[in-house]
């Protein structure tokens, strides 16, 4: 039985179909005081079976729904509760960056752990965040699937990550695509929405470039990379990421920078979520 958070319904349905298990009817309510209630009133007794709760914690509300659905699954008698975090919110806050700061990723993991027996999360910013959970937790790699929507005949393609931390994602996309060079830029983050990129000396003139990252949040990183590639005469520039957060004006920022197309997965459900991570999750469930 799959129980879905309100923001992960498309992926949850795909996953249920992939696994051939029922998708629970879940109701989402908000009370006048702002409190949420995610419930599964029509689930038949789980009778000691397994419940899989699927919820990206891309917002605080989504985290609350996830905790409620874990609890509801136990109420229905689930023997095992598996939590799937297609996108784990706060994963990028994986250390205390200043004195007095929390390790937010650890705080989230500690909140989620008591209600579950196991956690799967797709391409967290660093796999080490899985160690913050107090139950077995595993990262699931989906980057290889990002090659699927790319045009079949890219011209002398270059797969580029905007910083060295996402180089493994660029490599996975290239490996799936089958051919092309891999390179990366250097990045320094100046603030939450400003980055400074130092380009590599890769010759991009006349070539198709696929820029890959784990997440597009404000779009500053990607739009900076796209602008540099345009200035250097790249032919077409495609942007791919696992988690298309696309906060605030990120989509417009990228469009204005001259990107050819943006592709992401359904870990965060957005209009660019062309690739489903359901098959890679199903393999691990």
Residues labelled as active-site residues: 187
Rounded to whole angstroms, how far apart are CA atoms 207 and 153?
A: 12
Consecutive H or E run containing 223: helix 220-231
Site for ligand R5P in 74-113 (CB under 6 A): 92
CB of 117 to ligand R5P, least distance (A): 30
Q: Is 213 in the site for ligand R5P (CB under 6 A)?
A: yes
Q: How far is the CB of 141 from ligand R5P (least distance, A)?
A: 15
279: enclosing H helix or E strand: helix 278-284
Q: Report the residue from 221, 240, 267, 273 that binds ligand R5P according to the rule CB under 6 A.
A: 221
Six-digit token string for 99: 């004195």
Q: Report if residue 258 touches ligand R5P, rule: CB under 6 A.
A: no
Q: Tell me if 265 contacts ligand R5P by CB under 6 A.
A: no
214 binding ligand R5P? (CB under 6 A): yes
Asked if 199 is part of the footprint of ligand R5P (rule: CB under 6 A), the reply reads: no
Task: State residue 93 phi and psi, 5-degree precision.
Answer: -90, 65
Interaction of residue 195 with ligand R5P, rule CB under 6 A: yes
Kindly state whether residue 220 participates in binding ligand R5P, applying the rule CB under 6 A: yes
In the complex, least distance from residue 220 CB atom to ligand R5P, rounded to whole angstroms: 4
Contact (CB, 8 A) for 184 and 264: no
Residue 129 and residue 152 in contact, taking contact as beta carbons nearer than 8 Å:
no
User: Using the rule CB under 6 A, is 216 a contact of ligand R5P?
Assistant: yes
Neighbours of 175 (CB within 10 A): 15
What span, in angstroms and rounded, lies between the C-alpha atoms of 252 and 219? 9
Q: Which of 39, 68, 93, 218 binds ligand R5P (CB under 6 A)?
A: 218
Helix (H) / strand (E) element for 137: namely strand 137-140
Of the candidates 146, 167, 171, the one whose C-alpha atom is nearest the C-alpha of residue 265 is 146
Segment interacting with ligand R5P, rule: CB under 6 A, options 11-19, 104-112, 146-154, 160-168: 160-168
Chain residues that interact with ligand R5P, rule: CB under 6 A = 92, 162-163, 165-166, 195, 213-222
């Amino acid at each position: 039985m799959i129980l879905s958070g309100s923001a992960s319904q498309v992926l949850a349905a795909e996953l249920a179909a992939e696994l051939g298990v029922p998708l629970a009817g879940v109701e989402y309510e908000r009370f006048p005081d702002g409190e949420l209630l995610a419930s599964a009133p029509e689930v038949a007794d789980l009778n000691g079976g397994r419940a899989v709760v699927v919820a990206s914690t891309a917002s605080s509300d989504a985290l609350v729904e996830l905790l409620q659905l874990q609890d509801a699954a136990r109420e229905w008698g689930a023997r095992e509760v598996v939590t799937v975090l297609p996108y784990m919110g706060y994963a990028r806050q994986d250390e205390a960056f200043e004195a007095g700061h929390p390790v937010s990723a650890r705080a989230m993991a500690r909140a989620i752990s008591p209600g579950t027996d196991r956690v799967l999360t797709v391409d967290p910013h660093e796999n080490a965040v899985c160690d913050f959970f107090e139950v077995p937790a595993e990262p699931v790699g989906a980057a290889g699937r990002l090659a699927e929507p790319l045009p079949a005949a890219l011209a002398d393609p270059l797969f580029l990550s905007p910083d060295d931390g996402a180089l493994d994602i660029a490599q996975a996309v290239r490996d799936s695509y089958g051919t092309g060079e891999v390179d990366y830029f250097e990045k320094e983050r100046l603030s939450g929405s400003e980055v400074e990129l130092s380009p590599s000396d890769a010759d991009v003139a006349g070539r198709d470039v696929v820029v890959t990252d784990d997440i597009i949040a404000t779009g500053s990183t990607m739009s900076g990379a796209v602008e540099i590639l345009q200035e250097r005469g790249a032919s077409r520039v495609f942007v791919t990421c696992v988690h298309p957060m696309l906060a605030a004006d990120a989509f417009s920022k990228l469009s204005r920078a001259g990107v050819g197309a943006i592709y992401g997965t359904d870990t965060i459900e957005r209009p660019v979520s062309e690739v489903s991570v359901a098959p890679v999750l199903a393999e691990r469930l």
